Chains A and B, each alone.
Chain A
Amino acid sequence: MSDDAHAPHSLFRRRLMQGLVALPAAAMLPRAAWAASPATAAVNTTGLAVTDDTVTVGILHSITGTMAISETGSVEAEKLAIAQINESGGVLGRQIKIIQEDGASDWPNFAEKAKKLLASDHCAAVFGCWTSASRKAVLPVFEQYNGMLYYPTFYEGLEQSKNVIYTGQEATQQILAGLDWVNRTKGSKSFYLLGSDYIWPRTSNKIARKHIEAHLTGCKVVGEDYFPLGHTQFNSVINKIKLTKPDVIYAIIVGGSNVAFYKQLNAAGIDLSKQTLLTISVTEDEIVGIGGKNIAGAFACMKYFESLKNPNNEKFVPAFQKMWGANTVIGDVTQAAYLGPWLWKLTAEKAGSFDIDKIVAASPGIEFKGAPEGYVRIHENHHLWSKTRVGKALVNGQYEVVYETSDLVQPNPFPKGYQ
């Protein structure tokens, strides 16, 4: 699946398009005409749900159950992207039709619905899953039925599948730059690691600990604690933090626990303008529940913040809020979910086909210049090259970007020395 094999082809296509656009006569044609919907038999040789003017994709997220809190934003972003793509002429001249399924926050149910989307509905691509557990549950299904999954969440890494494009960050992309930054700018030496008790926080903290102990000179971890998902009482651990006085609280708490944690942190008199707190799990979405006042001053390490200043984002945010309400906020995962349909469209057009194997082959090297986070590119390991940014939480629930890596950070799902 190296990029080179297809380079001549795509170069040819690009030249051809430039040539066509340059022709005055071509400019008069309706847009769809030059995208020239190729014959269905040509773009679909494996029995996907593609007709002469439509192509069917699946959206698979939890819209009921506990995970609906987090996954709603992803559904909204994917629907926005698809609507925009359809407006601009669709993919290979075909309008995208959506079949939406509810994972219902239940992993076996995700597998069941994934199977339905692939085996029964023959979706050309599926945008979905949020938790690692749901992705792990559907992965064998996608491999067996040879489907294509665009997965939006930042996650622990340690995985790479031919049938998945990971549009969120794997752990090292999100962790290392943030730790370096806090060590460099704040001179922080001691870290207290916190997390919800499941694989993503534990793996992320493991990577963070290795980095702190092996790569940041003179730095140490002074405490590490995990809480069951849904835990709501943090006063004891807050006392422990007070006792150990770490320079940085490194918090990877998820879901409803977040709200409890920050409210209780604030109430315990820990002032985040004095005590450095770095999180990789609180996006703008979570701040709505936590309340800006409770978390103002905390730092988050993400690749995207709603407040990013760039032309793409300045179009994306109003479009999103026009579609889903002026008060809707956009978090890191929501933006990553928005990338999925676009990346798939670009890949299909580069491959000139919806066939899964051709999409897989064409994926490495796909560039999306219109991403709200800025330019991204698909790596050969199916993750994205993207920048890492640090934001400071403000009272109004937004993040102010205080740092941004100068280059794209390479995705490294199996980081040597961190395992």
Chain B
Amino acid sequence: MLAGYSLGELGSIMAMQGFAGLILFSVFVLMALGLAVIFGQMGVINMAHGEFMILGAYVTFLTSKLFTTYLPQAFGVYFFVAVVLAFIVAGALGMLVEWALIRRLYKRPLDTLLATWGLSLILQQVYRSIFGAREVGVDQPDWMMGAMNITNSIQIPINGLIVMVLTTFIAIGVYLLIFRMGWGKQVRAVMANRAMAGAVGIDTERVDRITFGLGCGIAGIAGSAFTMIGSTSPTAGQLYIVDTFLIVVFGGAASLAGTIASAFAISQARSTLEFFLSGSMAQVIVLLAVIAILMIRPQGLFVLKVRR
């Protein structure tokens, strides 16, 4: 299919295609980071992760409405306020859920899966009751729309750039918090031996709650960012859940670097294959490849044992 085009055209397409892969990569990292914290660090399977993302999207929607009504002159920057709010609201709900539900199930990881599935049903219906079954439209300020022209033939999506920047910041933040500031050490200590961690003075309940809240908060930010590129409806969260889990599992649950590496591998594979094949086949091939690799090298990728 590449015959009959000039080198210049092909070069521009390659550049844009590379960038498309990078955007997909950022999207995947953003989706998976929250889950990597919750599943990787705590061993909890949170099937309601998608619903926490959509909560972030709805918060962004409400923020945009508030700005349109009360602060129209500041509409250009509402998105940054929304990201912070999304983090706070989703994180707070996450902590509430941890307190009410998750802490009773730490010894039964498979059961967290079922309970959080129930939670996701409830959240979907809550969104439907509050915002209606239809999609809501989240307005963006003009500067966030459209493309940046690098050259005449190379255009870079601005919303993609914003997602990339946001992802970079959050990934660095998570890295610092979990691996540099000792928080991760506490989390891992609690996970390895709850009684012992408690005995050496770690407030285990607080560690659990804040970690879960943090993961949900990051999901909220992801949801907020996705209002730029996807749909906001009560059931939209379901679209992300399989991909997200596979990325985290593929990367090896405990390591942030693993999550990022796996997001990179999957996004590049998918974005390249989609260019040459139809979208459906690309997705099937990538999923199958991921599973095949997981079968061949489970020991290399599964670096962490789930808390039992």
A235 touches B20 (CB 8 A): yes
A232 within 8 A of B: yes
Q: Which of B136, B145, B235, B240 contacts A66 (CB 8 A)?
A: B235
Q: Which of B16, B133, B138, B159 contacts A68 (CB 8 A)?
A: B133
A68 touches B128 (CB 8 A): yes
15 contacts between A and B (CB under 8 A): A72-B134, A227-B279, A228-B280, A232-B231, A233-B27, A236-B274, A237-B275, A243-B5, A243-B9, A267-B146, A267-B157, A267-B228, A268-B147, A268-B155, A291-B139
Size of the B side of the interface (Cβ < 8 Å), in residues, is 54
A69 within 8 A of B: yes
Q: Which residues of A contact B157 (CB under 8 A)?
A: 235, 264, 267-269
Q: Which of B140, B240, B279 contacts A291 (CB 8 A)?
A: B140
Chain A, 253-307, CB within 8 A of any chain B CB: 255-260, 263-264, 266-269, 285-294
**A393 CB → nearest B CB, Å:** 13
A239 within 8 A of B: yes
Q: In the complex, what distance in Å separates the CA atom of A293 from the CA atom of B232? A: 16
Q: Which residues of B contact A264 (CB under 8 A)?
A: 157, 229
Q: Which residues of B contact A286 (CB under 8 A)?
A: 135
B134 touches A289 (CB 8 A): yes
Chain A, 65-108, CB within 8 A of any chain B CB: 65-66, 68-69, 71-73
Q: In the complex, what distance in Å separates the CA atom of A255 from the CA atom of B206? A: 41
A230-B239, A237-B279, A289-B136 given; A256·B233 CB < 8 A: yes
Chain B, 133-183, CB within 8 A of any chain A CB: 133-140, 142, 145-147, 149, 155, 157-160
**A130 CB → nearest B CB, Å:** 12
Q: In the complex, what distance in Å separates the CA atom of A360 from the CA atom of B185? A: 73
B88 within 8 A of A: no
Q: Which residues of A contact B133 (CB under 8 A)?
A: 63-64, 68-69, 71-72
**A257 CB → nearest B CB, Å:** 8
Q: Which of B17, B125, B149, B278 contacts A64 (CB 8 A)?
A: B125
A68 touches B234 (CB 8 A): yes
B236 within 8 A of A: yes
Q: In the complex, what distance in Å separates the CA atom of A26 from the CA atom of B231? A: 56
A197 within 8 A of B: yes
Interface centre among B9, B20, B24, B159 (most CB of A within 10 A): B20
Beyond A68-B235, A69-B235, A266-B146, 14 additional pairs, beta carbon < 8 A:
A73-B134, A197-B278, A228-B279, A232-B231, A233-B24, A236-B17, A256-B135, A256-B239, A257-B231, A264-B157, A267-B146, A267-B147, A269-B146, A289-B137
B46 within 8 A of A: no
A227-B280, A291-B140 given; A237·B274 CB < 8 A: yes
Q: In the complex, what distance in Å separates the CA atom of A65 from the CA atom of B124? A: 9
A242 within 8 A of B: yes
B5 touches A263 (CB 8 A): no
B230 within 8 A of A: yes
A-B complex: 9 closest residue pairs judged by Cβ atoms: A289-B135, A269-B147, A235-B20, A259-B231, A267-B157, A269-B155, A227-B279, A256-B231, A236-B274
**A222 CB → nearest B CB, Å:** 10
B13 within 8 A of A: yes
B279 touches A267 (CB 8 A): no
A226 touches B16 (CB 8 A): no
Q: Which of B137, B145, B160, B272 contacts A290 (CB 8 A)?
A: B137
A258 touches B20 (CB 8 A): no
**A259 CB → nearest B CB, Å:** 3
B128 touches A289 (CB 8 A): no
Q: Which of A73, A231, A258, A268 contacts B279 (CB 8 A)?
A: A231
Q: Which residues of A contact B19 (CB under 8 A)?
A: 235
Size of the A side of the interface (Cβ < 8 Å), in residues, is 49
Main secondary structure of the interface of A (DSSP, over half): helix
B280 touches A197 (CB 8 A): yes
Q: Which residues of A contact B239 (CB under 8 A)?
A: 230, 232, 256
Q: Which residues of B contact A243 (CB under 8 A)?
A: 5, 9, 13
Chain A residues close to B by CB (< 8 Å): 63-66, 68-69, 71-73, 197, 225-228, 230-233, 235-240, 242-243, 255-260, 263-264, 266-269, 285-294, 397
Q: Which of A71, A197, A231, A236 contacts B271 (CB 8 A)?
A: A236
Q: In the complex, what distance in Å separates the CA atom of A233 from the CA atom of B228? A: 12
A288 touches B137 (CB 8 A): yes
B231 touches A258 (CB 8 A): yes
Chain B, 103-152, CB within 8 A of any chain A CB: 124-125, 128, 132-140, 142, 145-147, 149
Q: Which residues of A contact B270 (CB under 8 A)?
A: 233
Q: Which residues of A contact B235 (CB under 8 A)?
A: 65-66, 68-69, 256
A236 touches B231 (CB 8 A): no
Q: Which residues of B contact A68 (CB under 8 A)?
A: 128, 133, 234-235
Q: In the complex, what distance in Å separates the CA atom of A65 from the CA atom of B17? A: 34
B23 within 8 A of A: yes
Q: Which of A73, A235, A258, A291 contacts B24 (CB 8 A)?
A: A235
Q: Which residues of B contact A232 (CB under 8 A)?
A: 226, 229-231, 239-240
Q: Which residues of B contact A64 (CB under 8 A)?
A: 124-125, 128, 133
A226 touches B134 (CB 8 A): no
**B227 CB → nearest A CB, Å:** 9
Q: Which residues of B contact A290 (CB under 8 A)?
A: 137
Q: Which of B125, B158, B240 contacts A267 (CB 8 A)?
A: B158
A263 touches B229 (CB 8 A): yes
A64-B128, A68-B133, A285-B134 given; A197·B233 CB < 8 A: no
B147 touches A289 (CB 8 A): no
Q: Looking across the interface, which residue of chain A has its beta carbon closest to that of B27?
A: A233
Q: In the complex, what distance in Å separates the CA atom of A255 from the CA atom of B133? A: 12
B278 touches A226 (CB 8 A): yes
Q: Which of A65, A71, A72, A240 contacts B275 (CB 8 A)?
A: A240
B145 touches A266 (CB 8 A): yes
Q: Which residues of A contact B135 (CB under 8 A)?
A: 69, 256, 259, 286, 288-289
Q: Which residues of B contact A240 (CB under 8 A)?
A: 275
Q: Looking across the interface, which residue of chain B has its beta carbon closest to that of A234?
A: B279
